[in-house]
Copies of this chain bind each other. A is one copy, B any other.
Amino acid sequence: MKKIKVVQWGLGAMGSGMAKLMLEKEGLEIVGAIDTRPDYIGKDLGEVLKLGRNLGVKVQNTPAGLLQKGKVDICMQAINSFTKDCFGDMKIVVESGVNLITIAEEMAMPEAQQPELARQLDELAQKNGVSVLGTGINPGFILDAQVVMLSAACLNVTRIEAARINDLSPFGPTVMKTQGVGATPEEFERGIKSGEIVGHIGFPESIRMIAQALGLKIDRIEETRKPIISNVYRETPHVKVQPGMVAGCEHVGVGYCNGKEVIKLVHPQQIHPHLEGVKTGDYINIFGDPEVHMSNQPEIPGGKGTMAVAVNSIPNVVRATPGLKSMVDLPIPGCLMGNSAYDRR
């Protein structure tokens, strides 16, 4: 079997995890790595990943000379959440004739918020004979692709309600800030207004993916972000939350048709939800005939889930027809555990 040659672009928590995961997969070979952190540049990837061995791959601070058609099959980007901010770097990959997977949340369905950039990317990808996929655990899997998949067992669908209840405790100070953890209720309201507290990135993308795949009409999407006020003391290495302060952000996205809720996605993100008896999990409820009531407890962890979904999608993207793709345009993905996983019929 010919190995799929990969360049990893971005070596933060997610990108490093993806690189380590790819090293375990027999069908994948990392042939290059890009990151702008001054202390990474010029070092061997094995050293940056703290593997205790060299991989013969030096980290570059730019893609210069690295992305060569035929020598690289796919580039994995883990640099940013927003289509606009990573458009330039995506363009470099695509114009080099290299396939692309990005974990930028908005790229799970860039038509939702950046239709013009999505159109340009699709055109560029087609012109250069490559495919582009944005994915991750959410958006990209639990609250959209998995919802679509389960709906296939229904004769008809009238309404969808899905929730992902997770625990933010393992995350660092940036996530605490963007979710408002540790803020007072007043600071939370101000943070939402100023855009400092963003909640989840991905509801318009997930709602659009489901609606488009099923052909459900959605004429309006509404998002609400409410503070989860703690009744108890909660603490992580990065934040202390006193009773009455904010333990996280309850973010809800609703897709309406003619004033009626059609798709409702709920994603309360907080630290230590169990301290108030909240069980974490992934929940999908499809109303129609028959109804589907799926639960997965505890939730699939966000970090591992995103790394897994991105890396496990590699063969699908390399094999795909050229253009901009979403998860529901590609074959059912699966965990890459051996040779035949790279060779669907």
Q: In the complex, which residues 140-165 of chain A have their Cβ closer than 8 Å to any Cβ of chain B?
A: 141-142, 145-146, 148-157
Inter-chain CA distance A56–B141, complex, in Å, is: 43
Considering the complex, which residues of chain A in the window 189-242 have a beta carbon less than 8 Å from any beta carbon of chain B? 210-217
Partner of A215, one of B213, B300, B342: B342
Complex Cα gap A292–B305 (Å): 11
Q: Given the interface contacts A329-B345, A345-B329, does A153 sit within 8 Å of B340 by beta carbon?
A: no
Contacts of A313 in B (CB 8 A): 152
Per-position binary interface string of chain A over residues 322-345, scored 1 when its CB falls under 8 Å from any chain B CB and 0 otherwise: 011111111111111111111011
Count identical subunits in the complex. 2
Question: Quick check: is A301 within 8 A (CB to CB) of the other chain?
Answer: yes
Contacts of A312 in B (CB 8 A): 151-152
Q: A339-B215, A342-B215, A345-B329 are in contact. Are A334 and B152 (CB under 8 A)?
A: yes
C-alpha gap A149/B292 in the complex (Å): 16
A3 at the interface (CB under 8 A from B): no
**Alpha-carbon distance between A214 and B334 when the two chains are bound, in angstroms:** 6
**Bound complex: CA of A127 vs CA of B16, how far in Å?**
46
Contact (Cβ within 8 A) A332 B337:
no
Chain A interface residue count, CB cutoff 8 Å, equals 66
Q: When the two chains form their complex, are residues A332 and B338 in contact, meaning their CB atoms are under 8 A apart?
A: no
Residue numbers in B under 8 Å from A21 (CB-CB): 155
Q: Give 19 new A-B contacts, CB below 8 A, not counting A210-B334, A294-B294.
A: A142-B153, A146-B150, A148-B333, A152-B333, A152-B334, A153-B304, A154-B304, A154-B308, A155-B307, A156-B335, A211-B340, A213-B340, A290-B300, A292-B296, A292-B300, A293-B296, A328-B331, A328-B344, A331-B331
Binding site for B on A (CB under 8 A): 21, 24, 122, 137, 141-142, 145-146, 148-157, 210-217, 288-290, 292-297, 300-301, 304-305, 307-309, 312-313, 323-342, 344-345
